[in-house]
Amino acid sequence: MAEHVDIEIPLHTRHASTVRAVAAAVCADLGFSVDAIDDLRLGVNEAVALLSDVDAGPDARLKISFEAGEGVVTVRCSRRGVDEELHTDDLDVIARRILDAVVDDYGITGGVFTVVKRVATEA
């Protein structure tokens, strides 16, 4: 059964450390390796950085939903209080390279940035 952890924070890059800490805790609870935890932390950091790279008012918020279960963590990040919608084309080459290296899947649909990290189970 999947577990859900939802957080909502002010839309600012200075709060990225909070999101990375929650990502690490969720992965640790599933028994992910240190390397897999670091990979997801980097992937989530890219999502938060991209979403936060906007002139936002003081009421703008970043919502992050973690869904964890059976060797996979799916993180969905979205913002509210910002008129500008995020698109896949907004990812620069460096962000794409980082994401390609550290997570299994990522994408932006309807303004929601999704990052997925899977860990191979040992037989």
Q: Kindly report, residue by residue over 28-83, the tens digit of the pLDDT.
A: 888 899 999 999 999 999 999 999 888 888 899 999 999 998 889 999 999 998 88
d(CA 40, CA 23): 7
Radius of gyration of the chain (CA): 14
SS3 assignment, position 53: coil
Q: What tokens appear for 95 in the block?
A: 């962000």
**Amino acid making up residue 87:** H
Write the CA distances from 72 to 30, 54, 64, 98, integer angstroms: 9, 30, 16, 19
Q: Is residue 123 part of a domain?
A: no
Is 112 a domain residue? yes
Q: Does pTM surpass 0.85?
A: yes
Looking at the structure of the chain, the number of domains it has is 1
- Mean pLDDT along residues 7-21: 91
Q: Which domain holds residue 65?
A: 3-118
